Structure 1
């Protein structure tokens, strides 16, 4: 520890021990810097991490002040609470008395309406039964339309498995997309019509039940309000309902409540007329949609037939070209073999000519003569090299032609496989699936 002590003087500058010899805490304390120094007056000499007396007194006085402030705030809060409790008690009594009076007034108004309701029930029941039968037809037609839609979507998905370049937007796909769009539109129309029928049935039943139940509702409401008027602070049936103050969105106003019974009969007649018009509309919709679906189905089947004929014709032509390419590949392979043999045949004459020239280069003295034999041997070697170069070039051309033929063969075979797959998809998958298309009676909702 004696090695970590540092003496601070004015001159010379304080000497510090390198960080590798002191811990960070001891180094900061010694230099009066960093997170391990204390606040207070500057001191000379070694600086410790202890608090000063001034700091101790400041902390003590802070505790005194905090205790006084909390005690004063508590006393004020007690006085305010006592005053608030007495005010709220008086307000609650006045509010409860006013509420009891208003509930009594409501009881008188309700009692005046309890004897003014009856009528239109039999006609509403009969018309609702007829509309239910039409709604059942709509639901059957909607269920039946799911089969054509699944067929159309399955055809489109199957045809997505076609490979390039057969993955085209042909006439069949256009007709299938038109069929799928037509079925979606028809389904949306049927769903909207079903919703209209459901709403109309609901309105018919609502008005029937309104005429039947309005009186009993008012009796029940009267009994509820009478019970509420008898409640007081000493009642044992009361309890907390925290969310009871929230007003319902469907709650009526006093004016609409008064007009409700008067409007019931008029609305019942209006709903009877709307129900009859809706049944006529449903008949027309089911007839037209079933005919449109069958017409579009025939158009799609015709497009499939024509497309299959096109694919069969393309397959026949591709197979003919493949047969010719295979025959040409055989001929070209034979020609490559001939060229390779010709190149190999030139190796022996070249070796002979070069060996002659090499041996003649050892002729002694003046016998090393550039005679006609020498020139002829040199020209023979050059001619052989020229022949070899020509043969090698022609061999490269032949091999390139052979590779092109092989690429063409692969392309033709691939195209044949692609078109075979396309024909299989269109004929075996799509057209076979379309044989399960529902009949007109099923589409019209009769079955």
Structure 2
């Protein structure tokens, strides 16, 4: 029977129902497997994301803690080095002040040296037997040696202080350099600590795992920091002793110079007293010498008058003898009168001779007294000149007793200070 609809089939093989069910089951299994794999993948991915996120957060946290600890450590070292630097600055300034004071003390020695040299030259201008190697010369030369020794010691101390300041400056430079590096490092680490993954100035870097060219191990860094502090401590260890030595040296020098100055002044005053005593003795001798010269001169005049008187008496005797030779005849006899007159002539001649000898002796004595008077005058002038020289030396040395305020300190003022009588003395 002919149908009304024509049915066509694809010219391909058709699957059986059993195969269709098998295909459905296979697709279902495949889908279940794929979903299971996807579920496992999502679970593992979620777990990986969580684990990596946690690890990244903890790593970031630990690194932040490490950076903070490093900054704290650097802060401690910065504070330590800052304290060392402050000590260095303080010690350098203190040592410079002590060195400046010592240099001022050294410069002030020029005045005592000049005064002592001038005193020696002045005392070398003494004349005659007053030009002696007395205690004044000895003490002045001793004072000159003391001043030269003090000057040498002060120069050595100043040189030692200068060398110490240079070493401290060198250590200060090293500490400052290390301190600046640590300050810069702190700033860099603080900047790194403020960074996070949301910052805009982060990026990939070329070879981030490279080691810097001048990088050193942590142990070396720590050893270098300790060495810097130890170097500063070692240099600061004897600075106090050096400053104390400078101060003690100055005070000891002042005491030595003051003691020697007092000895010299005492010796000069003693020498002035001795010279004045000798001058007074010479003046007394000169007065007595002049009185004796006047007496001798009067005696010479008396002797000359006596000689002149004896001359007239001799003329009288000789005239009598001559006139008696004209007696006439037997009256020309050698009688007792003639014998006595002749004896008188001989005695008068001997008396004249004795008087002339005595006049000669008196004149010789007068000349000797006059020569001795000249010697005494010269010696007296020399002693006066020597005494005035020592007085001028004392006046010149009074400049050594001028204190820091520019006023002269007398022995009375010194005794008032020593006995603490300032408040009991009424103001002038």
TM-score range, shorter chain: 0.5 to 0.7
Range that drifts further, 160-169 or 141-150: 160-169
- Answer whether contact 2:95 2:161 (CA < 8 A) is retained: yes
Shift of 1:138: 1.0
Which structure shows the higher helix fraction?
2
- 1:146 and 2:110 aligned: yes
Q: Are the counterparts in 2 of residues 301 and 431 from structure 1 also a CA contact under 8 Å?
A: yes
Query: Match for residue 144 of structure 2?
Result: 180
Matched residue SS, 1:371: coil
Aligned residue number for residue 136 of structure 1: 100
Structure 1 Cα separation of the partners of residues 403 and 284 of structure 2: 45
1:426 is matched with 390
Structure 2 match to 1:413: 377
Give the equivalent residue in structure 2 for 1:436: 399
Alignment check: 8 A CA contact 1:179 1:297 kept: yes
Decide whether the 8 Å contact of 2:85 with 2:175 is kept in 1: yes
DSSP 3-state at the match of 1:162: coil
2:123–2:386 Cα contact (<8 Å) kept: yes
Q: Secondary structure at the match of 1:346?
A: helix
1:68-217 equivalences under 5 Å are: 127-205=91-169
Contact kept, 8 Å, 2:293 with 2:369, in 1: the verdict is: yes
Encode CA deviations 1:137-157: one digit per residue, 9 max, x unaligned. 111001112212222222222
Q: Which runs of 5+ in 2 are unaligned?
A: 1-80, 178-223, 406-428
Alignment of 1:348-363 (within 5 A): 348-350=312-314
Distance 1:356 1:277 in 2: 114
| Matched ranges for 1:11-90 at <5 A | none
Q: Does 1:334 align with 2:298?
A: yes
Q: Who is 1:304 aligned against? A: 268
Task: Give 1:187 deviation, angstroms.
Answer: 0.9
Q: Provide the secondary structure at the position in 1 that maps to 2:129.
A: coil
Distance 2:146 2:125 in 1: 24
C-alpha deviation, 1:284, in angstroms: 1.5
Distance between the aligned counterparts of 1:272 and 1:193, measured in 2?
Answer: 17
* Distance apart, 1:362 and its partner CA: 10
- Does structure 1 residue 292 correspond to structure 2 residue 256? yes
Q: Go from structure 1 to structure 2 and tell me whether the alpha carbon gap of 1:361 and 1:205 turns closer, same or farther (over 3 Å shift).
A: farther
Q: How far 1:158 sits from its partner (Å)?
A: 1.7
Partner of 1:33: none
Shift of 1:337: 1.5
**Cα-Cα RMSD:** 4.0
The alignment partner of 1:397 has SS state of helix
| CA distance in structure 2 between the partners assigned to 1:368 and 1:153 by the alignment | 97
Stretch moving more, 353-362 or 280-289: 353-362
CA drift at 1:327: 1.5
Structure 1: stretches of 5+ with no match in the other structure: 1-118, 214-260, 443-447
Q: Give the conservation status (yes or no) of the 8 Å contact 1:362–1:368.
A: no
Instruction: State which of 216, 220, 241 in structure 2 corresponds to 1:277.
Output: 241
**Preserved contact between residue 152 and residue 176 of structure 1 (Cα < 8 Å):** yes
Aligned to 1:43: none
Cα deviations by residue, 1:5-40 (Å, 9 ceiling, x for unpaired): xxxxxxxxxxxxxxxxxxxxxxxxxxxxxxxxxxxx
- Indicate how the Cα distance of structure 1 residues 292 and 435 shifts in structure 2: closer, same or farther if over 3 A, else same: same
Inter-partner Cα distance in structure 1 for 2:330 and 2:232: 138
Structure 2 Cα separation of the partners of residues 135 and 173 of structure 1: 34
- Separation in structure 1 between the aligned mates of residue 86 and residue 247 of structure 2, nearest angstrom: 24
In structure 2, the CA distance between the partners of 1:439 and 1:360, relative to structure 1 (3 Å rule), is closer
Partner of 1:325: 289
Structure 1 distance, partners of 2:319, 2:243, is 111
Q: Residue 159 of structure 2 aligns to a residue in which SS?
A: helix
Cα distance in structure 2, aligned partners of 1:212 and 1:359:
136
